[in-house]
Structure 1
């Protein structure tokens, strides 16, 4: 049987599908959506090896109780997390919904950032090899590749190391160092990213970790050629929004939810 010949006429753009962030009819619908995205992001981070022991967390603000956030349970591997495993924590670090404990270090850092940045819906701070390696140098990312320009003049350095964060003052200092940026390098600890969705915060973390890897590799091989300031700013304007991050993240979300649909339970 002959293969049908394609229609040579262009299809109108309004007839082509494009995935965009959804709107929600109720806080309950949005809560379920955010929790599903959180469980999926944790699974993806697990695949990429962004955890070590009980360290590493992603949080998402509750759409109705805006001073509460959902977070992964203490001691549960990222690869095992399902929607029903997630716990809800209030500003005092107390679990108000769920069956598990919360890591207090995660509460201090994440709650401080959420409190300082009401525009932030999600925060990611966990253990990645190249992020930790670059953080040990106390350096910012340099504009050496197109993708890293998304962070150009939009990330900071917290140039202090005091061990595990367990006091609120340290959390406040980290939130202050983040300021209005989308990301922060915490010296001797690693990376922290934020976004107006779980998808954006997760994408920024993933691509920032890869940018750290590229910078370390390039500098080990020689002297990288920097992208000029004007081009770096223009590229950031094109690639650096949370919407672009959300769109970039969708193939990863589809891959993990189709491959591991149990995470939605």
Structure 2
């Protein structure tokens, strides 16, 4: 599929980041992870210190394109002439991680039914299925404080995250981050599957928890079942091919 021409005022690196992020919004929508005009996926711009891209507030995920993504700095200032506003809740939550975590290149936050449900029960995600075992010992939790629009909550978000890069916002939803967008995508996809299967399992009776020693072997061997190219790269590329069969307007 041909790539749309980038706007002349953008660097090649920015245009590539815009296209990858726009594709991701369309993938999320295709997978049923949209939430009206809310929720966010952000990526840092590799050639501009402190700058990142976020979805325009007011547009559905299915309307996001490479050109209409908003470029802002770490303090929330727009860095382009985009007419769309930025959701304060999205900025506060994402900017604090982009500011404090050098490896948080891409951050994803959703309100999926399964993700919100698991974030709203005591104990959160339990190691009762294949995908949940991927995350055992790797999930942080943050208590619900209301809609995330106050900057002082950022300190607690970073503190509660610690050295983890996956978090359940209690009573709220999923937060994942990655060194690349495809890495964050495969984390989100796997976590969403884990949550869906946990809900299905609990509907049938008492779940079987996987022993810790088996989980350790499972996590050790996961990399042997990955396609070369980096975590999530082949998975994300496959999803983009499916999106292109539906609509290629995200490329513009």
Which TM-score bucket, shorter chain as reference? Answer: 0.7 to 0.9
Contact kept in structure 2, 1:156 and 1:181, CA below 8 Å = yes
Q: Please give the per-residue CA displacement for 1:73-112, whole angstroms capped at 9, x wherever unaligned.
A: 0010100111001011111112112231110110000011
Matched with 2:88 is 104
Give the corresponding residue for 1:20: none
C-alpha change, 1:107 and 1:63, in structure 2 (3 Å) is same
Q: C-alpha deviations, 1:135-179, integer Å up to 9, x for none?
A: 111433222222222212111111x21211111111221122222
Residue 49 (structure 2) pairs with residue 66 (structure 1): yes
Looking at structure 1, the residues matched to 233 and 164 of structure 2 have their Cα atoms a distance apart, in angstroms, of: 17
CA RMSD of aligned residues (A): 2.0
1:167 matched residue in structure 2: 150
Quote the Cα distance in structure 1 between the aligned partners of 2:161 and 2:202: 26
After the TM superposition, list the runs of 4 or more consecutive aligned residues in structure 1 that deviate by more than 4 angstroms.
none
Tell me the distance in 1 between the aligned counterparts of 2:102 and 2:15: 20
SS of equivalent residue, structure 2 residue 107: strand
Aligned to 1:247: 234
Alignment of 1:110-259 (within 5 A): 110-158=94-142, 160-239=143-222, 243-259=230-246
Does the CA contact (< 8 Å) of 1:203 and 1:249 recur in 2? yes
Q: Is there any run of 5+ residues in structure 1 with no aligned partner, and where?
A: 1-26
Give the number of equivalent residue pairs.
Answer: 238
SS in 2 for 1:73: coil
Larger radius of gyration: 1
CA distance in 1, matches of 2:196, 2:131: 12
- Say if 2:104 and 2:177, in contact at 8 Å, map to a contact too: yes
**For the Cα contact (< 8 Å) 1:139–1:157, is it kept in 2?**
no
Please give the alpha-carbon distance, in whole angstroms, between the structure 2 residues aligned to 1:131 and 1:238: 26
Per-residue deviation, residues 11-43 of structure 1 (Å, max 9, x unmatched): xxxxxxxxxxxxxxxx93332222111101111
TM-score with structure 1 setting the length: 0.83
TM-score normalised by L of structure 2: 0.87
Partner of 1:261: 248
- CA distance change for structure 1 residues 205 and 173 in 2, over 3 Å: closer, same or farther? same
